Structure 1
Amino acid sequence: MTVSPFARALDTALDRSVVPGFSKIGYAVRRRLPTWPADPAIGALAGRHVAVTGATSGLGTATARQLSDLGAHVHLIVRNTDKAADIAAELRGASTTWKCDIGDLDSVRDCAARILADGPPLDGLVHNAGAMPPERAESPQGHELSMSIHVLGPVLLTELLRPAMKGRDARVVFVTSGGMYTQKLPVDDPDYTHGEYSGSTAYARSKRTQVELLPILTTRWARDGISVYAMHPGWAATPGVTDSLPAFDKVMGPVLRNVDTGADTTTWLIASQPRPRGGGLWMDRRERPTSFLPRTRPTSDERRRIWEWAAQAVDLTP
């Protein structure tokens, strides 16, 4: 057996075992394997403009910092502009802040209009903004909040910013979660109106939806030269994990990844050359399976139905 097949088999074994693979152990082992892709070149994003939602904490801040270190002009799309000012002051390069509540579709439309009017062309867009409401909450448009923040807002923002990314080899990254492996596509109840509500289940459902829309969004946005990816950061120690999943944070804390490790593959997808193949789910710089269990694997008809729901919710023609 040559080194490369052995390394790939070890990588896959880590992935299937979950605990070591999703933890900092998995990242540390994979980075030392000969199958690990090269880091982006110094200055790889010089002269490029990349937008990051949810950039004021956790993975979003780490992503903004890494992109800036590679030379990008980083556009911070945030709800709290005061926090963004603190982040911007720490970045090595130039940045611009745009106020936007990703869960509010009217706010998304307003933000996109301002970026198109006053901002430069974009070479990348990272959908990092996230939330895990402990109780069911709705967006101003009446959609379950997790689904609105993780699916509807990002889809609408990308769609509206297509003119700014057209013909620029732009890359769009959805920051998803390993929790989506536990859930199937909620085609019959995307707004979680039935049954007892669970914040973690709603979160995982919305992340499953992100991933399963990839084939459709890839086809839709490819006409403008835009590649789309989902990126699973592994288990990372973030303020969101600490606040929303305190028991998990307490038990798994010693092996959680730091935010820079969690953000690594997002930055790599945006900056690496040649362009990675779009349309898939990535973790630790390698494309991963989207389902491990048959019950969570949707049909093409189920993908079509969830896309029709999402498109209608944000007033797009599917």
Structure 2
Amino acid sequence: MNKLLNFYGRFAPSFTAAGFIARGLPLRPIGRAFSGQTWLVTGATGGIGKSIAIGAAKRGATVYVVGRNGEALAALARDHGIKPLQFDLDKVGDNVRLAEEVAAGVGKLDVLVNNVGRLEHVYKTSPDGFESTYALNLLGHYALTERLIARGALKDGLVINMASGGLYNSALSLRRLEQTPERYSGVMAYAAHKRAQIALSDKWTAQGVRSYTMHPGWVATDGVRTALPDLNKHLGWILRSGAQGADTALWLAARRPAPQAGALWFDRAPRSAHAYPHSQTPEVEPAAIFAKLEADVAKAGGV
């Protein structure tokens, strides 16, 4: 408990609403509007994803949102003019089908936000047989984005990967991506998935698709209340709003700053992705992560 409270105490001034306000972000304009743009936001029926989708739509974008909850998708369509797409994104096949549907029916995307994600404390498997959070947090993002790139749907577009300060807990790791039931740590799995997102951003940028990995701060969402009850208990009163968590995503899309290799974007600036020495030395090269993801997409029949 002391270790946890020390962690909260160290980062609370920056990651909560207090940090957002102290940096003066409410008074600083995001930038140009998104009229004529087409966005795809995953995991957008609640939390940060919903706030990003609504924020982009209010600024003029045509926004497609992806989720499993049909009622929540319908509400977004009814209340905000957002276009719903119902897919189960912990299935590789659904990510591939989503990419094909978007490429064929929508055409080019200006912005893809890989937002969907989950932290679990009990080992579960996805419909394809992978550890469930690995399937949702990383493998699905890879399958969706790679297929969109292959189909030319992200030419001149950009990708925003939604990460977390949780990645400070892990170096780039292969062994933690998909753990076994016997020694499962959902926190470390989540950290490894979020760390790997930075490697993916660098990969896609090198392929010509401008990509960023961002940290939204600590945001009051249903996911936080469920997965991190201690954080919610001690700091719930000062957690960020959904709009504050969405701010950097909207700013990145509006300003399109030059990507920086290895950076974690937070509160409109590239920050170090390392808070502790132990995360600075990778256990594997990024190529090993990419090879596993590619092999697992093929294993699930998503080639």
Match of 1:172, SS state, is strand
Match of 1:18, SS state, is helix
Match of 1:192 in 2: 179
Say whether 1:228 aligns with 2:216: no
> What one-letter code is carried by the residue in structure 2 that aligns with 1:40?
G
For residues 102-153 of structure 1, give each alpha carbon's deviation from its aligned partner in whole angstroms, at most 9, with x where no partner exists.
2110111122222222223211100111112231112222221111111111
Larger CA deviation: 132-141 vs 242-251: 132-141
CA contact (8 A) 2:172 2:282 kept: no
Match of 2:6 in 1: none
Q: Judging changes above 3 Å, is the alpha-carbon distance between structure 1 residues 161 and 213 closer, same or farther for their aligned structure 2 residues?
A: closer
Say whether 1:165 aligns with 2:168: no
Q: Judging changes above 3 Å, is the alpha-carbon distance between structure 1 residues 306 and 179 closer, same or farther for their aligned structure 2 residues?
A: same
Deviation of the 1:211 alpha carbon: 2.0
Matching residue within 11, 17, 23 for 1:18? 11
Say whether 1:66 aligns with 2:66: no
Say whether 1:132 aligns with 2:113: no
Write the distance in 2 (CA, Å) between the matches of 1:254 and 1:189. Answer: 32
Matching residue within 199, 224, 240 for 1:212? 199
Write the distance in 2 (CA, Å) between the matches of 1:58 and 1:73. Answer: 19
Q: Judging changes above 3 Å, is the alpha-carbon distance between structure 1 residues 115 and 237 closer, same or farther for their aligned structure 2 residues?
A: same
Match of 1:40 in 2: 31
Normalised to the residue count of structure 1, the TM-score between the two structures is: 0.84
> What is the correspondence of 1:248-263 to structure 2 with a 5 Å cutoff?
248-263=231-246
CA contact (8 A) 2:115 2:161 kept: yes
> What one-letter code is carried by the residue in structure 2 that aligns with 1:277?
A
Normalised to the residue count of structure 2, the TM-score between the two structures is: 0.88
Deviation of the 1:301 alpha carbon: 4.7
Q: Judging changes above 3 Å, is the alpha-carbon distance between structure 1 residues 217 and 164 closer, same or farther for their aligned structure 2 residues?
A: closer
For residues 6-29 of structure 1, give each alpha carbon's deviation from its aligned partner in whole angstroms, at most 9, with x where no partner exists.
xxxxxxxxxx95220111111101
Match of 1:5 in 2: none
Larger CA deviation: 134-143 vs 262-271: 134-143
- Root-mean-square deviation over aligned CA pairs: 2.2
Identity level (%): 32
Match of 1:209, SS state, is helix
Write the distance in 1 (CA, Å) between the matches of 2:137 and 2:205. Answer: 17
Deviation of the 1:194 alpha carbon: 6.7
Match of 1:291, SS state, is coil
Match of 1:271 in 2: 254
Write the distance in 2 (CA, Å) between the matches of 1:109 and 1:258. Answer: 32
Write the distance in 2 (CA, Å) between the matches of 1:23 and 1:65. Answer: 21
> What one-letter code is carried by the residue in structure 2 that aligns with 1:132?
L
Say whether 1:106 aligns with 2:87: no
Match of 1:52 in 2: 41
Write the distance in 2 (CA, Å) between the matches of 1:212 and 1:119. Answer: 28
Write the distance in 1 (CA, Å) between the matches of 2:153 and 2:37. Answer: 11
Deviation of the 1:299 alpha carbon: 3.8
Write the distance in 1 (CA, Å) between the matches of 2:39 and 2:47. Answer: 18
User: Which residues of structure 2 form unaligned runs of 5+?
Assistant: 1-8
Write the distance in 2 (CA, Å) between the matches of 1:32 and 1:80. Answer: 32
Q: Judging changes above 3 Å, is the alpha-carbon distance between structure 1 residues 111 and 32 closer, same or farther for their aligned structure 2 residues?
A: closer
Deviation of the 1:60 alpha carbon: 0.9
> What is the correspondence of 1:298-309 to structure 2 with a 5 Å cutoff?
298-299=281-282, 301-309=284-292
For residues 215-248 of structure 1, give each alpha carbon's deviation from its aligned partner in whole angstroms, at most 9, with x where no partner exists.
223213x1xxx21111100111011001111121
Write the distance in 2 (CA, Å) between the matches of 1:213 and 1:32. Answer: 28
Deviation of the 1:79 alpha carbon: 1.4
Write the distance in 2 (CA, Å) between the matches of 1:68 and 1:216. Answer: 29
